[in-house]
C-alpha cells in the first residue's frame, strides 16, 4: 500500500500547489497536461485471471503506471465503435455530449475537486475529457479544426486520462443537482468505464467482486456454508448479548419474504451489527422470511462495470425469489443496490410480475411504490412498523451515542429517501443533530470511495475526496458533541469508518438497524441488557441489589407458623 500522507501534510499540499479554488491560473491548457500515475493516485488494474473468468477482452497482467498498457491492435477503433454504438443506444449520453454550455455551475460541486484542487476533477472538465473526443472524432468542426473547436483524437494519452479521472468519480451525481440542464456526469463516467472495458482497461477492486458475485453469489466469493456459518455466529453473539435465540431460515421455500442485503453485513465491521439489528427486528415481529445462500449479495458492482453485468447480477435476486416462491423481496441497507433496483430494474429485468405487490404482513400497508420492482427498502418497512406502533423501543439504550445522519448518495439523491431514515433514527435515539445545510439531503457529500474505489492502494485520493463530508462531521462533533454518523449504505459504513479515523478521530459509524437493534425491547430478553450490539457496556444501570441472605431460622422443637415441618 502506498504511504498515505498525514492529515496535516495533505491539507498543506492543498495550500502549497497552485489551486483553482484560490484563483491560481494553470500554466498550460488542460489538453497539454498529461496524467502522471504514482503510488496512491490510481487503483490497481484488473488481473488477467479475473478478466478471463468474466470472459472480458484482453486479459493480461499490467498496471496503469506501465508505459505499455498492452492494448490490442486497433484499440482506438474498438473504443470509437463502442462510442458510436452508445451514442445511438443511450439518448441521454448523446444529449450530454451536445448541450453543456460550460457555465461552470457544477465546477466546485465535486468532492474530488474540493479535496484535490485538480481542474480535471471539476465535473465540467471531467465530462470534457470524453466530449473532446466526441467533437474530434464525430463532429465536422472538431475533425477539421481540432483543439480550436474543442476536439481531439483518441490517443493513448487520452485513454490514460480517462482511466485516471473516471476512476476519480464516484458517480455520486452531486454535480447534476446544480446543473441547469440536468447533465448527469455520473452517466458519462459510466459510459467511459464501459468503453475502457472493451479493450481490457478496468480496475481489480471492481472486477474481482463482480467475478466472485457472478460465480458464488457474493463479492467475497464465499460458498453457501461459509455464508450460513457467518450469520449463525452473529446469532450466537445476539444470544450472548440479549439472551434471545434466533434461528435464521436459509433457502426456505414458500416464505412471505426473501431478505437480501449486502454481504458486508454478514462479514465486515461495522455492518455485522446492522445484520444483528435486522435479525432482532424480524424476530420481534415474527416475520416469515428466508435468506438465500445464492442471492447472498445485494450489492451490484455490475453498475460500476457495464450495463450487461449489472443486468446479470440483478437478475440473480429475482431468480432466487422465483425459485423460493416468496411473495416479495425485502432489501437491506445498501446504496447502489437500490440505485439499480430503483432506476434500472424495470427496463433490465422487470417488471417482476411473478411476485406480489409488497404488503407488510404486520401492518397491512401496501408498498405501491414497489408495485413493479416488488422490492421494499428495509427503512421504509421499519418506518411503517414504527408509525403503526408495532415495535417496543427504548431509545435510551442508544444514549451513549449522539448521532447525525449521512444521506448516502444513492438512497438520497437517486431515490429521494430523506424522511424515512430520519424518522426511524429519531425513534430509536434521543440525541440527534443534522450536519450543515448544503451537505445533506439532495446536496449530500459523498463518502469519497463509492463506485468500487474503496481500495487501500487508493487511500490518499479517498481521503481527499472525503474531505468535504469529514468537514461537516467535524463541525457537528465540535458544535454538538456528535460521536456517531449513521447511514444506510454498506460501502459508506466501511469507507466512512476509515475517513473518520483519518479526519475526525473519535467519530464512529453505524448502520441504522444497529441502532434499531439496540433499542428493541425483546420479549424474554435478559434484564438488564448490559451490552449493546458491539458488546460494549455503555449502560448506566444500577446493579440490582444482592438479595439479603435469609436468616437461619432458629431451631426449635415447635412446629413452624405455617404448620410445616422445619428442615432438618
- Report the nearest approach of ligand SF4 to the CB of residue 218 (Å): 26
CB nearer ligand SF4, residue 196 or residue 376:
196
CB nearer ligand SF4, residue 270 or residue 468:
468
Scanning 169-177, 285-293, 526-534, 560-568 for contacts with ligand SF4 by CB under 6 A, the matching segment is 169-177
- Asked if residue 338 binds ligand SF4 (CB under 6 A), the reply is no
CB nearer ligand SF4, residue 384 or residue 492:
492
Cell numbers given for 236: 450466537
By rule CB under 6 A, what count of residues binds ligand SF4?
Answer: 26
Cell numbers given for 492: 459508506
Instruction: Provide the mask over 478-517, with x wherever binding to ligand SF4 is found by CB under 6 A and - wherever it is not.
Output: ----------------------------------------
CA end-to-end span of the chain:
75
Contact 353, 345 (CB under 8 A): no
Backbone dihedral angles phi then psi of residue 510, each to the nearest 5 degrees = -145, 165
| From candidates 1, 21, 65, 101, binder to ligand SF4 by CB under 6 A | 101
Per DSSP, helices labelled H in 139-289 are 140-145, 156-166, 174-178, 185-197, 204-216, 224-242, 264-267, 271-285
- Report the nearest approach of ligand SF4 to the CB of residue 165 (Å): 9
Longest dimension (CA), the chain: 121
Residues 241-280 that bind ligand SF4 (CB under 6 A): none
| From candidates 71, 100, 246, 295, binder to ligand SF4 by CB under 6 A | 100
Contact 219, 212 (CB under 8 A): yes
Instruction: Provide the mask over 182-201, with x wherever binding to ligand SF4 is found by CB under 6 A and - wherever it is not.
Output: -x-xx--x------------
Nearest C-alpha neighbor of 532 from the set 548, 549, 510: 510
- Asked if residue 175 binds ligand SF4 (CB under 6 A), the reply is yes
| From candidates 172, 201, 295, 355, binder to ligand SF4 by CB under 6 A | 172
CB nearer ligand SF4, residue 169 or residue 210:
169
Nearest C-alpha neighbor of 501 from the set 62, 4, 158: 4
- Asked if residue 179 binds ligand SF4 (CB under 6 A), the reply is yes
| Site of grid cell 422487470 | 350
Scanning 168-176, 219-227, 456-464, 483-491 for contacts with ligand SF4 by CB under 6 A, the matching segment is 168-176
Backbone dihedral angles phi then psi of residue 45, each to the nearest 5 degrees = -75, 155
Instruction: For 321-369, give the DSSP string.
Output: HHHTT-SEEEE-S-SHHHHIIIIIHHHHT---TTSPPPB-TTT--B-GG
Three-state secondary-structure class, residue 563: coil
CB nearer ligand SF4, residue 275 or residue 472:
472
Contact 266, 233 (CB under 8 A): no
Scanning 52-60, 108-116, 210-218, 553-561 for contacts with ligand SF4 by CB under 6 A, the matching segment is 108-116
Q: Which residues bind ligand SF4 (CB under 6 A)?
A: 100-106, 109-110, 112, 123-124, 126, 169-175, 179, 181, 183, 185-186, 189
Amino acid at each position: 500500500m502506498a504511504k498515505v500522507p498525514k492529515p496535516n501534510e495533505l491539507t498543506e499540499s492543498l495550500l502549497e500547489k497552485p489551486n483553482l479554488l484560490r484563483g491560481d491560473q494553470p500554466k498550460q491548457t488542460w489538453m497539454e497536461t498529461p496524467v502522471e500515475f504514482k503510488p496512491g493516485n490510481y487503483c490497481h488494474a484488473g488481473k488477467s485471471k479475473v478478466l478471463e473468468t468474466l470472459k472480458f477482452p484482453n486479459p493480461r497482467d499490467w498496471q496503469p503506471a506501465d508505459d505499455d498498457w498492452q492494448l490490442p491492435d486497433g484499440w482506438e477503433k474498438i473504443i470509437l465503435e463502442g462510442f458510436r454504438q452508445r451514442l445511438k443506444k443511450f439518448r441521454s449520453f448523446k444529449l450530454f455530449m451536445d448541450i453543456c454550455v460550460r457555465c461552470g455551475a457544477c465546477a466546485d460541486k465535486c468532492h474530488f475537486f474540493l479535496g484535490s484542487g485538480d481542474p480535471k476533477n471539476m465535473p465540467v472538465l471531467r465530462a470534457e475529457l470524453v466530449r473532446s473526443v466526441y467533437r474530434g472524432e464525430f463532429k465536422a468542426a472538431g475533425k477539421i479544426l481540432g483543439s480550436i473547436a474543442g476536439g481531439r483524437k483518441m490517443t493513448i494519452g487520452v485513454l490514460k486520462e480517462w482511466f485516471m479521472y473516471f476512476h476519480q468519480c464516484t458517480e455520486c451525481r452531486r454535480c447534476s443537482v446544480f446543473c441547469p440542464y440536468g447533465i448527469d456526469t455520473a452517466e458519462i463516467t459510466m459510459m467511459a468505464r464501459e468503453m475502457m472495458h472493451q479493450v481490457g482497461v478496468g480496475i481489480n477492486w471492481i472486477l474481482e467482486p463482480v467475478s466472485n458475485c457472478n460465480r458464488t453469489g457474493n463479492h467475497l466469493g464465499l460458498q453457501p456454508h461459509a455464508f450460513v456459518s457467518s450469520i449463525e455466529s452473529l446469532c450466537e453473539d445476539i444470544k450472548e448479548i440479549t439472551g434471545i435465540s434466533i434461528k435464521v431460515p436459509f433457502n426456505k421455500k414458500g416464505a412471505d419474504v426473501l431478505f437480501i442485503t449486502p454481504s458486508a453485513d454478514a462479514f465486515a465491521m461495522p455492518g455485522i451489527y446492522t445484520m444483528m439489528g435486522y435479525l432482532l427486528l424480524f424476530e420481534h415481529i415474527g416475520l416469515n422470511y428466508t435468506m438465500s445462500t445464492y442471492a447472498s449479495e445485494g450489492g451490484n458492482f455490475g453498475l460500476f462495470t457495464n450495463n450487461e453485468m449489472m443486468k446479470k447480477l440483478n437478475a440473480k435476486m429475482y431468480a432466487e425469489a422465483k425459485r423460493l416462491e416468496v411473495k416479495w423481496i425485502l432489501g437491506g441497507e445498501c446504496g447502489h443496490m437500490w440505485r439499480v433496483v430503483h432506476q434500472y430494474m424495470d427496463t433490465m429485468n422487470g417488471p417482476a410480475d411473478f411476485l406480489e405487490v409488497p404488503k407488510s404482513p404486520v401492518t397491512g400497508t401496501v408498498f405501491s411504490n414497489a408495485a413493479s420492482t416488488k422490492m421494499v427498502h428495509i427503512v421504509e418497512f421499519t418506518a411503517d412498523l414504527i408509525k403503526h406502533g408495532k415495535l417496543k423501543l427504548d431509545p435510551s439504550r442508544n444514549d451513549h451515542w449522539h448521532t447525525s445522519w449521512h444521506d448516502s448518495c444513492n438512497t438520497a439523491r437517486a431515490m429521494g429517501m430523506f424522511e424515512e431514515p430520519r424518522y426511524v433514527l429519531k425513534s430509536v435515539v434521543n440525541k440527534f443533530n443534522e450536519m450543515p445545510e448544503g451537505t445533506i439531503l439532495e446536496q449530500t457529500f459523498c463518502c469519497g470511495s463509492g463506485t468500487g474505489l474503496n481500495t487501500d492502494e487508493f487511500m490518499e485520493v479517498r481521503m481527499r475526496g472525503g474531505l468535504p463530508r469529514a468537514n461537516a462531521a467535524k463541525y457537528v462533533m465540535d458544535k454538538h458533541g456528535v460521536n456517531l454518523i449513521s447511514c444506510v449504505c454498506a460501502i459508506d459504513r466501511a469507507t466512512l469508518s476509515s475517513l473518520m479515523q483519518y479526519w475526525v478521530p473519535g467519530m464512529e459509524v453505524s448502520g441504522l438497524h444497529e441502532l434499531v437493534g439496540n433499542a428493541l425491547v425483546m420479549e424474554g430478553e435478559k434484564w438488564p441488557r448490559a451490552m449493546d450490539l458491539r458488546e460494549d457496556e455503555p449502560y448506566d444501570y444500577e446493579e440490582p441489589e444482592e438479595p439479603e441472605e435469609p436468616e437461619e431460622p432458629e431451631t426449635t422443637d415447635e412446629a413452624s407458623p405455617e404448620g410445616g415441618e422445619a428442615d432438618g
